[in-house]
């Protein structure tokens, strides 16, 4: 009886098997100018089951797959008369704990144009209210930093706008993000607590960075990266210095602060959105890129030393 009860509880916790969950219905998302965007079946192969969904484009009676491998496909935005943007913004969500997927900006007429972006947290993309021009809230995702798990991605949201025929960084809106002294003090305290927990978990160690944390340093990563990506990398560096663990049981640990900062900068510039949306234009981006290069040199030196 106890074994049966245990199995029932376990079944309730994990839920029904994936194959028994309801698949997204097939059908059109948008039809315009003789073309249609359709939710369809994926290409048959061993990796795709009956719930796998594809985004299809149908023109002149011919269908082609634009993207596939999704759990769900949805129309996030469509252009109305008088608005500026593509004809449609479509999300394809892979499902799973990672939350990744593809974001499509599609123009059907007069000429077909399909733009595709791979997004770490595609369900977090949202449309911002505006004055007729497409504007998006887009997650800049820093994944796996300092041992963070797949589901522990750090997202800093960027404002994007449609300009010309492309999604671009809305730099003026981004630069309006400011931080009061009280907020910076609060962040310093929060980062100090996060890093102290991590240091205690890592103790004893010859150096505080690495080893990796067991579950990342999410508070520190978010607080620092948000400052960095809004033009305040100088303040982020000062905050890390003020919050870095230096006392108590871990007083004997050697260094680590510079290595942590350099590694975080490298993680930031390694995100494809850094290059795609030209974030090297934000104030103090040179500080971030120089520290990222230092991290790459340090890693190259460690590799060379280990091979000897």
CA-wise closest residue to 288 among 275, 303, 302: 275
Q: Is 252 helix (H, G, I), strand (E, B) or coil?
A: coil
pLDDT at 257 over 90: yes
Give the tens place of pLDDT for each residue, 52-111. Answer: 999 999 998 899 999 999 999 999 999 999 999 999 999 999 998 788 999 999 999 888
Residue 243 lies in a domain: yes
Residue 92 lies in a domain: yes
Q: Is 293 helix (H, G, I), strand (E, B) or coil?
A: helix
Residue at which a domain ends, from 109, 124, 139? 124
Residue 120 lies in a domain: yes
For 21, 22, 91, 97, 205, the CA distances from 51, given in Å and listed in that order, are 8, 8, 16, 17, 47
Provide the domain limits for residue 245: 181-307
How many domains does the structure of the chain reveal? 2
Q: Is the dihedral of CA 174, 176, 177, 178 positive or negative?
A: positive
Residue 185 lies in a domain: yes
Residue 6 lies in a domain: no
Write down the mean pLDDT value for the chain. 87
Mean pLDDT value across residues 182-195: 97
CA-wise closest residue to 279 among 148, 190, 158, 137: 158
Mean pLDDT value across residues 124-144: 93
For 34, 148, 157, 159, 269, the CA distances from 91, given in Å and listed in that order, are 22, 25, 17, 17, 25
Give the pLDDT of residue 249: 59
The pTM score is 0.85
Q: Angle at Cα 127 formed by Cα 132 and Cα 52, nearest 5°?
A: 130
Whether 120 and 188 map to the same domain: the answer is no
For 3, 193, 207, 244, 253, the CA distances from 259, given in Å and listed in that order, are 50, 19, 10, 12, 13
Residue at which a domain ends, from 124, 143, 164? 124
CA distance linking residue 136 with residue 170, whole number of Å: 9
Residue at which a domain ends, from 54, 89, 124? 124
CB of 143 within 8 A of CB of 120?
A: yes
Give the pLDDT of residue 124: 95
CA-wise closest residue to 102 among 134, 54, 64, 57: 54
CA distance linking residue 35 with residue 150, whole number of Å: 38
């Amino acid at each position: 009886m106890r074994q049966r009860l245990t199995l029932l509880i376990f079944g309730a916790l994990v839920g029904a098997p994936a194959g028994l969950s309801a698949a997204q219905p097939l059908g059109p998302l948008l039809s315009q100018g003789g073309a249609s965007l359709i939710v369809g079946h994926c290409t048959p192969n061993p990796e795709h089951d009956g719930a796998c969904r594809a985004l299809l484009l149908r023109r002149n009676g011919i269908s082609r797959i634009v993207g596939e491998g999704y759990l769900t496909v949805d129309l996030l935005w469509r252009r109305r008369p008088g608005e500026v943007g593509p004809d449609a913004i479509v999300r394809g969500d892979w499902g799973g704990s990672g939350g990744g997927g593809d974001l499509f900006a599609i123009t059907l007429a007069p000429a077909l144009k399909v733009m595709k972006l791979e997004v770490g947290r595609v369900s977090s993309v949202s449309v911002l209210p505006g004055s007729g021009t497409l504007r998006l809230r887009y997650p800049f995702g820093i994944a796996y930093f300092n041992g963070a798990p797949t589901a522990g991605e750090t997202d800093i949201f960027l404002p994007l706008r449609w300009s010309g025929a492309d999604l671009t960084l809305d730099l003026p809106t981004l630069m309006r993000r400011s931080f009061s002294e009280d907020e910076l003090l609060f962040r310093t305290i929060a980062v100090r607590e996060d890093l102290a927990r991590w240091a205690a978990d890592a103790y004893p160690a010859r150096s505080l960075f690495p080893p990796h944390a067991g579950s990342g340093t999410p508070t520190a990563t978010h607080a620092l990266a948000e400052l960095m990506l809004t033009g305040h990398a100088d303040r982020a560096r000062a905050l890390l210095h003020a919050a870095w663990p230096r006392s108590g049981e871990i007083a004997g640990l050697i260094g680590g602060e510079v290595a942590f900062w350099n590694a975080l900068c490298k993680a930031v510039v390694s995100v494809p959105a850094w290059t795609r949306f030209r974030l090297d234009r934000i104030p103090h981006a040179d500080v971030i890129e120089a520290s990222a290069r230092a991290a790459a040199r340090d890693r190259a030196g460690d590799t060379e030393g280990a091979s000897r």
